[in-house]
Amino acid sequence: MKAKLFICHHPGSLSLYKGLIQVVKRYDKNTKIILLKVNHPYFAKLNFEPYERYFDEIIEFDFIHYKKNFLNGLWEILVFQKKLKKIIATHLRNFQTIDLFLSDSAWLSVNILLYNLSKLGNIRNIIKFTSPKIECSQTETDKIKTFLCILYSLPLKCYKIKVISTLGGQFVGFVYTENTPGAFVKIISPIADSINSLDELKGNILPYPVTSEYCPVAKKDMIIIFGNKGIFQNIAEYFPSYETYVKKLTALFKTIENKYSDCRLYYKPHPADKEQIMPGIDIKKYSLFNNTVNAPELFDMYRARIRAVYAFSSGSVTFGSFFGIPSYTFYQYLCNQAGIKRIDRLFINHTKFLFHVANLNDVGKIDDLKCPVIDSKNLEKTYRQVLNV
């Protein structure tokens, strides 16, 4: 029997996996779908139940993380590895072939899973969905933290990584310092400007989402702001002052509220915000989405009603644009040039439905774009090529 094995260490991958699995089950019914679910803290907030039915089997792991004191996390890592070793020996080795899917992540749980699973003789394909590159002229390698993380690769079975920070010393992310096995697949919009025909797509490009024809409604009546209360604290070096930051945010939100006076306003807190609200916003004017749902799920449920979405720089707006929803960032309006230069790199998957607000006159600038009908048969054909079903 064959298996499709999905690694999910963060809820952000669930919507993508849901679409992939629907295609797999349609064209390859004799394949078992297995999820290795690493319980990132955000999973504690999310309602995971709607996703459970897409997997034939779910194997859960505790979340593990690189820690400043290597010895503090050692026991958790050994327990993680012991469980993985048992699952490989008693379960995964029994499949004729396995296709492995995961995000291109250097976080510890993914690092250990990829290192160990790639050694299996029955792994046929390893497909890594790429993320935007986090290194640029406005970031640097944190040498001290990188040295500490090297300790993890010495006694444990994982790849070497380095730690990337801003020039001001704020943590950005982890990056592999050596090649890791597998083929990269870039997620793109099925309505991206640069694509003339879906038949021209290569195997290393995957349209997202799997979707059928859009069903327009009489009125698009929803505006969603994706919040992030910790922006200033995390990247303070990119703003002139906190007072200016709040003043500009207040002006932005008032402009949005006036622009969309005929719509209902919604606010979605970042999962790390503990339901706290960004400064400058009058939450009495907004309906609140809690963190039992994530952004792709909201787009799945409400895309026919959403007129526009706004966020500082969240990947949520990128996914919104993939659904043909007018999607806006506002980091260019708030940040200095160094901040803009760094964050620009996060938006390489540009579509005409994604717009960067630089001043208040830009609010609502692309709302009149018409989303074309997407041929679901061509999309499924492309997915089948990537999945090798």
Domain ranges within the chain, ordered by starting residue = 2-139+177-212+377-387, 222-362
Pairing assessment for the beta strands 171-176 and 161-166 based on DSSP bridges: antiparallel
Is residue 99 left, alpha or beta, with left meaning phi > 0 and alpha meaning psi from -120 to 50? Answer: beta
Burial (0-12, 13-18, 19+ Cβ within 10 Å), 163: buried
pLDDT recorded at residue 382: 67
The two three-digit tokens of residue 274, written as one number: 């503990």
Report how far residue 131's alpha carbon sits from residue 177's, in angstroms, rounded to the nearest whole number. Answer: 16
Out of 3.50.50.60, 3.40.50.1580, 3.40.50.80, 3.40.50.2300, select the CATH number for domain 2-139+177-212+377-387.
Answer: 3.40.50.80
Half-sphere exposure of 350 (CA within 13 A, CB side): 10
Give me the pLDDT at residue 136, please: 82
Cβ neighbors of 78 (< 8 A, separation 6 or more) are none
Q: Which of 290, 294, 385 is nearest to 16 (CA)?
A: 294
Tell me the C-alpha distance between 322 and 190, whole Å. Answer: 7
Q: Confirm whether 2-139+177-212+377-387 and 222-362 share one CATH topology.
A: yes
> What are 139's two structure tokens?
């970031």
Reported pTM: 0.89
Angle, CA of 304, 102 and 23, to the nearest 5°: 50
CA distance 80 to 90: 16
The pLDDT of residue 379 is 63
The pLDDT value recorded for residue 304 is 87
Helices in the chain by DSSP H: which ranges?
14-27, 49-52, 70-90, 108-117, 143-153, 231-234, 242-259, 295-302, 315-322, 331-334, 337-344, 376-387
pLDDT number for residue 142: 94
Whether residue 209 has a cis bond before it, omega within 30° of 0: yes
Q: CB–CB of 332/356 below 8 Å?
A: yes
The residues of the chain scoring below 50 in pLDDT are 194-202
**pLDDT score recorded for residue 189:** 79
What is 222-362's CATH topology?
A: Rossmann fold (3.40.50)
At 214 the pLDDT is 53
Segment 194-202 long-range contacts (CB within 8 Å, at least 24 positions apart):
198/375, 198/378, 198/379, 198/381, 198/382, 199/378, 199/381, 201/382, 201/385
